[in-house]
Structure 1
Amino acid sequence: MRLFVVRHAEAAPGEPDELRPLTEAGRAAARALAEQLAAEQVDAVVSSPLLRARETADAIARAAGVEAEPDDRLAPGATVEDLREAVRGRGETVVSVGHQPDCGEIVFALVGELRPFKPGSFAEVTL
């Protein structure tokens, strides 16, 4: 499986944390990311249930012609095992949208490489 591990785009500050939306710049970044990933023949998009991750995932899913699916296992604190369970059986090319430091820790666990995960960035790995 090709897996794109995506950190949500830039979110507005505020409380409660789970309801923080993307900023205007974050929405633009999510659209640009969606255009980039649309060429990858994405089979599924899964995301954290938090609003900023869902908004990022929705942009990617629209561009890919699929429905984004929130998954509680991808909420902040997600582990590599949570991710494996969330993407299992969803196709050959899957996008997962989550949070930092989870994205960095998951990619490190999978490929042994530390990568910076700025908002709206991603890493491609093979499961």
Structure 2
Amino acid sequence: MTMLDAMLLFLVRHAHSDPGEPDDLRPLSTRGREEARALADKLAAHATPPRLVLSSPLLRARETAEAIAEAVSAELRIEERLAPGTTLEGLSDAVTGATHAVAAVCHQPDCSEIALDLTGRDPGFPPGGVAELSLDA
């Protein structure tokens, strides 16, 4: 059992980013901004939208998370524990205390590895991709 038991988790890979900048400073591309808005609208229309949005500190993840948080009127929290290389343990620590649905914006291959650890399958995470995980105790 983890701290992720009995909650709704939207595991999100950041949208497309522009190449050419240092990794931690790469902003979303025009395409990525469109993807982030579309993803944000999708989550806002969900029956149980996230009330907390957690983000990796890297710019492309923060920009994706900001679009989501604005669309769903959620708290946004930047989490060092979601930086590239995060694990299920890091995500679990980041969501400790959450009482509502959470969106966590991170990176590949971390999204796939966390989904695999939680569910036994990798749903695939294209840029701007999301997996809705209903986790029961």
| TM-score using structure 1 length | 0.96
The DSSP-based 3-state class of the residue aligned with 2:16 is coil
* Alignment-derived partner of residue 99 in structure 1: 107
Matched, 1:116 2:124: yes
- From 27, 35, 45, give the equivalent of 1:29: 35
User: Which sections of structure 2, spanning at least 5 residues, go unmatched?
Assistant: 1-6
Asked if the contact 1:43–1:92 (Cα under 8 Å) also holds between the matched residues in 2, the reply is yes
Tell which structure's C-alpha radius of gyration is larger: 2
- The alignment of Structure 1 onto Structure 2 pairs a total of residues equal to 127
Distance in 2 of aligned mates of 1:67 and 1:25: 25
The DSSP-based 3-state class of the residue aligned with 1:115 is coil
Cα deviation digits, residues 23-76 of structure 1 (max 9, x gap): 001001000000000123321000100000000000000001123211000000
- From 3, 12, 17, give the equivalent of 1:11: 17
Which aligned runs of 4 or more in structure 1 are off by greater than 3 angstroms? none
| TM-score using structure 2 length | 0.89
Letter in 2 for 1:64: V
Distance in 1 of aligned mates of 2:111 and 2:81: 13
Distance in 1 of aligned mates of 2:28 and 2:18: 6
Distance in 2 of aligned mates of 1:67 and 1:24: 25
The share of aligned pairs that are identical, in percent, is: 56
User: Which sections of structure 1, spanning at least 5 residues, go unmatched?
Assistant: none
Letter in 2 for 1:42: P
